[in-house]
Homo-oligomer: A and B are copies of this chain.
Amino acid sequence: MSEVSVIRAGIVGATGYTGVELLRLLLGHPRVRPAVVTSRGQAGTPLSALFPNLRGQGDLRFQAPDAGALGECDVVFFATPHGVAHTLAGDLLQRGTRVIDLSADFRLRDPQLWSQWYGQPHGAPELLEEAVYGLPELNRARIPAARLIAVPGCYPTAVTLGLLPLLEAGVVDPAQLVADAKSGVSGSGRKAQVGSLFCEAAENFRAYALGGHRHLPEILQTLGEVSGVQPQLTFVPHLVPMVRGILATLYTRLLQPQTDLQALFERRYAHEPCVDVLPAGELPETRSVRGTNLCRLAVQRPQEGETAVVVSAIDNLVKGASGQAVQNMNLMFGLPETQGLEGIAILP
């Protein structure tokens, strides 16, 4: 790609919250032009009819998904429910279009495990070999040449970045991991469902999916690769009455309690532009990363005990989805890794 060229981007299924967030980021990106935005149900509708924040940002309209139009893009993002990317990704790759999938379709390497958790056969097992799990902090080397990126889920991003330094260094027991994760309601998407209504979610707090959340096998896959053994993780997600943000509180048993955890974290992420290890004693809050592609981390060892606690905060729609997708795109196209992702969080 020449220095001055512009990347033509397509978005499939841009009517949800990751879709509008991706549009916000791409419209503000100096080297990208959103060229094709598809929605089967909203063909012909201007983007601003669904998303009033996009009024005045050009006259793009949703169009019906069409492999031909999408195939003329340099890159196509999928912001769709699971299963959709399975049906279109192969065709696009053949046309020379690179694919960044924000859905779960290519995150698990084992198609049978995928099938078990998603309740349907895997629709494109032949592409799994080349799919790269797009967590730059783990797989940066493989991303530039990748044709197909599986953007990590929101919970997996927060949990994995928080546990990586400990597991890589072998200082905690991988068989005793706890991830108590809390997410804003936008994690449930824009689908009209009773549980996501204002009057159900406001002034309320609850845990859910103790029996098993679909992000669990994804987290286990990565942690297993990193630690070299099959980890045991108790993962409990909770719903917070706020729009954006994930905060994961991670509990681990220290094998070597004397490790300087602060130094370990600072060293591990010293050159990561999207991970911020807070000074010792400080704790992250979700508003400090709202709208940004940052993961802010803290690690502590309460009461000098055997348990290390990590607190990890991201914006579920940015580092947990659309921002991470753009970070991958930047790496794939040789752009500065954080281009288009430099906005400061709005506070308050």
> Could you tell me which A residues sit within 8 Å of B by CB distance?
17, 20-21, 24, 27-28, 51-57, 176, 178, 180, 182, 184-186, 190, 192-194, 196-208, 210-212, 232, 234-236, 238, 240-245, 247, 249, 251, 253, 276, 278, 281, 283-288, 290-291, 294, 296, 300, 302-303, 305-307, 309, 311, 313, 342-348
B28, A234: Cβ atoms under 8 Å? no
Instruction: Give complex CA distance A54, B206 in Å.
Output: 17
Residues of B close to A206: CB separation below 8 A: 247, 283-286, 313
A17, B199: Cβ atoms under 8 Å? yes
B205, A182: Cβ atoms under 8 Å? yes
B24, A243: Cβ atoms under 8 Å? no
Among B193, B238, B290, B291, contact of A247 (Cβ-Cβ < 8 Å): B238
Instruction: Give complex CA distance A55, B345 in Å.
Output: 10
Given A52-B347, A244-B348, list of 18 further CB < 8 A pairs?
A: A17-B199, A24-B346, A28-B343, A53-B346, A178-B251, A178-B307, A180-B180, A192-B192, A197-B197, A202-B243, A203-B203, A203-B244, A206-B284, A207-B249, A210-B311, A211-B281, A232-B307, A343-B343
26 CB-based A-B contacts, threshold 8 Å: A28-B344, A52-B347, A55-B296, A185-B197, A186-B348, A192-B192, A192-B193, A196-B199, A198-B201, A198-B243, A199-B348, A202-B241, A202-B242, A202-B243, A202-B348, A204-B242, A205-B240, A210-B300, A211-B281, A232-B307, A235-B302, A240-B240, A243-B348, A244-B348, A290-B346, A291-B346
Instruction: Give complex CA distance A201, B202 in Å.
Output: 10
Give the distance to chain B from A168, nearest Cβ to Cβ, in Å: 22
